[in-house]
Structure 1
Amino acid sequence: MAKLDSIDFNILRELQENGRLSNHDLAKRVGLSPSPCWRRAKRLEDEGIIDHYAAILNAEKAGFHLIAFAHVMLEKHQMEMLEQFDEAICQRPEVLEYYSMSGDYDFLMKVTTRNIKEYEDFQTGFLMRLPVVRSVSTSFVLKQKKHTTRLPLRLLESPEK
């Protein structure tokens, strides 16, 4: 990773807050003129520190009222089966996040659907039909207490500040 200075961190903070800022507004907020600001933001993109830009939707207002965390245990751990499982899961739009885990389960998925019936269809009609799946344990979110996509950049800065 490239060495980031305080201006880079400020650019990243501002873009995490509002990815639609114009370069002119971003430059004003971080104390640069537009050209150097654009070059720095472009470098952060080119180096992959800024992965992509997206609109963050309100799931509830968009009609997705159910969030579930599915803990999946596999029957077999053969590479070919794992690759097929990965491909199948990554193609499912209701799977928002998908992690390989240590501990009691092999995988953890964050899944959103409009209702419990859609989740049941996902679990019993798709997930449990995959030949490699041994078991699925699901936890349903009762109330979301915090949701953010912003990284805690202050933790990466040098202690000199």
Structure 2
Amino acid sequence: MLDSFDVAILASLQKDGRLTNRELAETIGLSGAPCWRRLKRLEAEGYIEHYTAVLSPKKINLNVVAFAQISMDNHHPETLKSFLSMVAACPEIQECHSVSGSCDYLLKIITRDMESYEALLSNMLLPAEGIRSTSTMFSMKQPKITRELPLSGC
């Protein structure tokens, strides 16, 4: 079980993963050593999976965000393994969700422009074994993007 200090550590690090242990301890109201022990336990128990930098897509010329709905021909293990290997090898595919509803997978894809998206679609997705059809939605604006998880229920 997480107590209020654990939740405070997680909330603080979600907002700023570069906090030093001292800054984190001050923020949550603990001294340095107990804060460090709690942080190491949260990491060891898998509450904190990893640390990363969040880059600006526009600054690195990634301007198109697309959501591709993928319908599969079948769900045989060999077909899914091939599809998921292709997904894992494609850096433009940021997220892959197995979903319920009218399609099997939802992919979040980010590319430079429409031409590069079309190339990815034509050269990787459409020829991939097991894909029956794709349908794409393009993000026009992104009024909210967050990686912070809601911690109110912890």
User: Gapped runs of 5+ residues in structure 2?
Assistant: none
Corresponding residue SS for 1:99: strand
Contact 2:98 2:106 in 1 (8 A): yes
CA-based RMSD of the aligned residues comes to 0.8
Of 75, 91, 115, the residue aligned with 1:93 is 91
- Measured after TM superposition, the shift of residue 130 of structure 1 is 0.7
Q: What residue number does 2:133 align with?
A: 135
Matched to 2:6, the amino acid is D
Q: Distance in 1 between matches of 2:82 and 2:44?
A: 31
Corresponding residue SS for 1:103: coil
Contact 2:82 2:129 in 1 (8 A): no
Of 51, 54, 63, the residue aligned with 2:52 is 54
Matched to 1:117, the amino acid is E
Of 73, 76, 95, the residue aligned with 1:75 is 73
TM-score where L is the length of structure 1: 0.93
Deviations 1:84-116 (A, max 9, x none): 111111110000000111111010000000000
Matched to 2:53, the amino acid is A
Moved >3 Å (runs of 4+): none
Deviations 1:20-54 (A, max 9, x none): 00001101111111111000011110010101100
Q: What residue number does 1:22 align with?
A: 20
Corresponding residue SS for 2:22: helix
User: Gapped runs of 5+ residues in structure 1?
Assistant: none
Corresponding residue SS for 2:126: helix
Identity of aligned residues (%): 44
Deviations 1:58-82 (A, max 9, x none): 1112210000000000112111111
- Measured after TM superposition, the shift of residue 131 of structure 1 is 2.0
Of 94, 100, 104, the residue aligned with 1:106 is 104
Q: Distance in 1 between matches of 2:129 and 2:28?
A: 53
Q: What residue number does 1:40 align with?
A: 38
TM-score where L is the length of structure 2: 0.98
